[in-house]
Amino acid sequence: MPSRFEIDYRDTNIAWEPLVDEVFGELTSSFLEMPKGEGFIDYPTFEKGYQTLKRHTDAFAKLTPETVLAAVRDAPIAFIVFRCILGFSPPEWAYVTTEMTGVEVDQARRVPSTAACV
């Protein structure tokens, strides 16, 4: 059987099931392959921060400095979760913080238990 790239899609007699199976067989998510090791927090810790952030922001519908700060006060790990959701690495977050606030943030400092997302 030809691959999905070799099929003439104008043909009305296409066997769709094998093509669909081929596509679904190739789908993967790197998000499911979470890195582990020193510098990464475990999933239960991340989930606690995520759920706290979700609760304080009304499922992210009310994402304000006040609601995020309330979540961070309730569960400090929510700060790391928020950074991860925004897609910032620790050095990027430090750089943006310095640029936007003028407060010098050391980009080289690493805190092993919370430096990276799960």
The values of phi and psi at residue 116, to 5°, are: -135, 165
Looking at residue 114, its pLDDT comes to 46
Residue type, 62: K
Instruction: Let me know if residue 14 belongs to a domain.
Output: no
d(CA 12, CA 94): 57
CB atoms within 10 A of CB 78: 26
Mean pLDDT of residues grouped by 10 in the chain (118 residues)?
A: 77 87 75 64 91 96 96 96 90 89 78 48
d(CA 9, CA 106): 56
What residues are paired with 116 via a beta bridge? 40
Look at the block and give the residue holding tokens 């936007």. 100
Domain total for the chain?
1
| Residues of the domain holding 95 | 32-101
